Structure 1
Amino acid sequence: PRKAPPSAMAPGGASLRAAVLCLLAWAGLAAADRVYIHPFHLLVYSESSCEQLEKSNAEAPKEPTFTPVPIQAKTTPVDEEALREQLVLATEGLEEEDRLRAAKVGMMLNFLGFHMYRMLSESWSMASGAAILSPTALFGTLASFYLGALDPTASRLQAFLGVPGEDQGCTSRLDGHKVLSALHTIQGLLVAQGGASGQPRLLLSTVVGLFTAPGLRLKEPFVRGLAPFAPITLERSLDLSTDPDLAAEKINAFTQAVTGWKMNSPLSGVSPDSTLLFNTYVRFQGKLKGFSLLEGLQEFWVDNTTAVPVPMLSGTGTFQHWSDAQNNLSMTRVPLGRSACLLLVQPQCMSGLQQVETLSFQHNFLTWLKNLSPRTIRLTMPQLTLQGSYDLQDLLAQARLPTLLGAEANLGKISDDQLRVGKVLNSVLFELKADEGEEPTESAQQPDGPEALEVTLNSPFLFAIYEQDSTALHFLGRVANPLSAA
């Protein structure tokens, strides 16, 4: 395939271009020998879809719009169990094409997630305590903007998501609805339990808040199109210009009232000339089957001289494990559900966390997975409640794309009004606890089996939540102090 136009690729930087080239090389392995198949053919428009799209654009009336209600309007609280059931239903009756599409999107969001994680990690200090990023939320937010974009913004967003538009023809363009539908499948695969009975151990809830200046009209097809990514979209209007700090307080209070989630990283610093804020809120709750909460608080060593008392979990089972003497680290995979797992990366030297994170975590992650082998392990680790919040506008600026969602962005599918996008916030609430009274998903240690290897995470470590069917990374993070919010 030909390269994307320089305007789409150049601003992203050499590292992003390299990632996209790797992405294309990997995806291109599926191409036929004689007949060219677009490496992302499951995610772009087909010829018949292009013909239908051209016809509908010529004949369709102006898209209906609406004005969001004021932020003071009453709203039904979020029903997280209902959201979980919707995700589970999304995985029932999946066809092979659905799974392949999910795998392609999983691959794309992993590349983008690691790229953004690297930029975030450069600004994190070890004193920050903990840090977390959701590649699925990040990718879904940018894909949502792609759904609402027209060229040239659409082309630039497509390239940033990892799919150069080649000849810019319709059949080389991402179908935003297919991308968000695949993301919905990925979210569902994470929480699906494969027929397991009992209380669900995984909860994943995604809510989008669209906060607009009074009078701004949003297009109904765009808002409806967000449902696969975020089944609950809250559209509200409020004055963003007179008192930006007051506007931020109102948004924070509204969001907490609707979700019930207490975020310690609230929205702040709203630009007074903004007319649209796009906030994505994600809550994940996981339980480790067969683990129990140890009595009393245990020591977690923040550095070589400082320990803090934290609640710790412990469980014994046959888990996948690998120790790398060359890079002074070990990796353990703990099952969370049918195909979801927790990946724990522990540097053998406490001071080596940053080096492992910078040099190895992002580049060798998939290789590490291949090196894992079963081992009887007694694993002890902190109980986690982490929070993280970041502005995608800041990340785009670090990626040398500060104008991608700036004042000149063409977002004509979101609104016919002149949009000025302010903050694009991703906020994560991550909870990992014990599910006491049950055996681990994988076989427990046998009485006459080998002695269990003691793996104790009582010093800084890295972690990821990984879904094996789609290969998607849902969360990436660092824990330097479990008592500190991200």
Structure 2
Amino acid sequence: MKSFVLTMQFQHIMLFFTALIGLSTCNRVYVHPFTLLTYNKSECEKIQSEDQGAEKMFFPTAIESNNVEEKYLRLQTIPEPCHFGIIENYLTSLISVLSFRAVAEWWKLQKTDSVLLPYTDFYRTMVSLYLGSSGNTSISLHKFLGFPQPSSSTNCTSKLNGLKVMSNLKKIDNCLYSKDSNINALRTAFMFVSPNVPMSEKFVHGLTQTADNFYVRAVDFKDSAKAVKSINEFLNSKLPVNTESGLTSIDVTSNFMYISHVQFKGKVPQSFLIPNHQPFWTEPSKSVMVPMISVSGIFQFIEDTKKNQFIIKISLSDTDFLLLVQPINGNTLENIESSMQWETYGTWVNGLITRYRYVNLSLPKLKIERSYNSQDILPSLNVPELLGKNADFSKMSKKPIKVGKVINMVDFELEESGAVPNGENDVPEIKEEPVEIKFNRPFILALCEGTTKSLLLLGRVVHPTDVI
């Protein structure tokens, strides 16, 4: 995997092109997007005055407590119109670079399993930890997130304002998660801390922007088996589906855990379920019988004989769409993955713009649940001690915070819409024979937002019903 040099190269490229656009339209001085995410003078003065006062703390409610008033649930607001400005575009580029590096590491660690990582949610989790960090840990997370280093360690106005980043990630979410009735999406976040650890109200309030629902609870980490049972039961009581967290153990020396869950359930328009289960070849000589979806129509589609792969775009709503990539002609999924870079997705999307074909498509009905502990890949990303025992998270609490697992969960479902396969659906007249495409063996899956071309999920499907 490429190092942080890749991130900086991308920022320099983006800076160059943005500057060109600015110069071509006006004579105003170009302002780097990063400076729009730092503290201004008045914010710095407020921080300094707050530092002189007492930080408000509270002890989270015990996880066993019932009928708790959820003080830290995110306030429901009227969604703002979807708009990507210079800051949102800048953040999206950083999200793409860092999250692709994470996906590539999970591909290596789980070579024979399905992998599906929520792009923006992984990045948001790391920003959440940045909000609670101080000292060298804050500097390390700042760099890990892809931002330029502050001009001075003592200059407040050159430092990243994590709350501004969170606010703009919320704007990005407003664009990425479709409000279409064909789509069901929900983000839920959980923070678990030891009973004797007081938490900063300011820090916790900052995290309420991270999800549709946010919960903070106290758990006794010293009894690992009991803590695992309590946390799993709590997750299942708050999540919209009975999801397996993959949590089987807890580091008894830790006193903090963060879990984020993304649910995405979509339907393929004008599709129906094939009556009988069909074979899906998980390996060249091994198959499983799975429910398959059928749909026919005009699709953006490429049969790339040079790289030996199929690429097809499947619209799920007015905005969200899937990109499916499957190896052909003896090519393997491993070959495609090993040649991918963060720019590959953009190449796929741009290459499909003028490629339309009538396709008879069949693909598996999907139910994929995955759970990822970020601690597992940090060594491979050259930051093994980023969240280690010596990390400084003094903005979270007055007591030392020992971060345990930092988990991103995803629950992805793809279903048929229930269209009747009797020829009643409107289809355009065509002059060429339809292409028959079957996604009946492992493939790359990318869930995308159409207006901004941003990624929501990226990974591989090895088994259509890959539940932990």
- Cα deviation, 1:256-315, whole Å, max 9, x if unaligned, reads 122143233421221111111111111111111111111110111122222211001111
Q: Distance in 1 between matches of 2:329 and 2:430?
A: 33
Q: Distance in 1 between matches of 2:318 and 2:458?
A: 20
2:216 paired with 1:224 = no
- Cα deviation, 1:224-255, whole Å, max 9, x if unaligned, reads 111222132211112101x2122111101111
Q: Are the aligned partners of 1:106 and 1:470 in contact in 2 as well (CA < 8 Å)?
A: no
Q: Distance in 2 between matches of 1:444 and 1:375?
A: 16
| Aligned residue type for 1:445 | V
Instruction: Determine which of 330, 339, 342 is the counterpart of 2:310.
Output: 330
| Aligned residue type for 2:183 | L
CA RMSD, 1 decimal: 2.6
Ranges in structure 1 where 5+ consecutive residues have no aligned partner: 1-12
Instruction: Determine which of 171, 176, 181 is the counterpart of 2:162.
Output: 176
Instruction: Determine which of 258, 269, 273 is the counterpart of 1:278.
Output: 258
Q: Distance in 2 between matches of 1:281 and 1:355?
A: 30
Instruction: Determine which of 37, 44, 67 is the counterpart of 1:43.
Output: 37
SS state at 2:379 partner: helix
Q: Do the aligned partners of residues 190 and 38 (structure 1) sit closer, same or farther apart at CA in structure 2, a change above 3 Å counting?
A: closer
TM-score for both structures, normalised by structure 1: 0.86
Q: Distance in 1 between matches of 2:427 and 2:371?
A: 39
Q: Do the aligned partners of residues 402 and 294 (structure 1) sit closer, same or farther apart at CA in structure 2, a change above 3 Å counting?
A: same
2:49 paired with 1:58 = yes
Equivalent residue runs for 1:28-177 within 5 Å:
28-31=16-19, 35-45=29-39, 49-58=40-49, 61-74=53-66, 89-92=78-81, 94=82, 99-126=85-112, 128=113, 130-168=114-152, 169-177=155-163
Partner of 1:389 in structure 2?
371
2:384 paired with 1:402 = yes
Instruction: Determine which of 20, 28, 37 is the counterpart of 2:8.
Output: 20
| Aligned residue type for 1:20 | M
| Aligned residue type for 2:268 | L
Q: Are the aligned partners of 2:33 and 2:90 in contact in 1 as well (CA < 8 Å)?
A: no
SS state at 1:411 partner: coil
Q: Are the aligned partners of 2:62 and 2:219 in contact in 1 as well (CA < 8 Å)?
A: yes
The 10-residue stretch of structure 1 (345-354 or 296-305) with the greater mean CA deviation from structure 2? 345-354
Q: Do the aligned partners of residues 395 and 313 (structure 1) sit closer, same or farther apart at CA in structure 2, a change above 3 Å counting?
A: same
Q: Are the aligned partners of 1:28 and 1:39 in contact in 2 as well (CA < 8 Å)?
A: no
- Cα deviation, 1:372-423, whole Å, max 9, x if unaligned, reads 0222222210000001111111121221212111222221221121111111
Q: Do the aligned partners of residues 40 and 379 (structure 1) sit closer, same or farther apart at CA in structure 2, a change above 3 Å counting?
A: farther
Ranges in structure 2 where 5+ consecutive residues have no aligned partner: none
TM-score for both structures, normalised by structure 2: 0.89
Partner of 1:429 in structure 2?
411
Count of aligned pairs:
452
Partner of 1:301 in structure 2?
281
The 10-residue stretch of structure 1 (352-361 or 290-299) with the greater mean CA deviation from structure 2? 352-361
Partner of 1:467 in structure 2?
449
SS state at 1:475 partner: strand
C-alpha deviation, 1:445, in angstroms: 3.0
Q: Distance in 2 between matches of 1:50 and 1:337?
A: 43
C-alpha deviation, 1:365, in angstroms: 2.0
Q: Do the aligned partners of residues 471 and 44 (structure 1) sit closer, same or farther apart at CA in structure 2, a change above 3 Å counting?
A: farther
Q: Distance in 1 between matches of 2:221 and 2:97?
A: 35
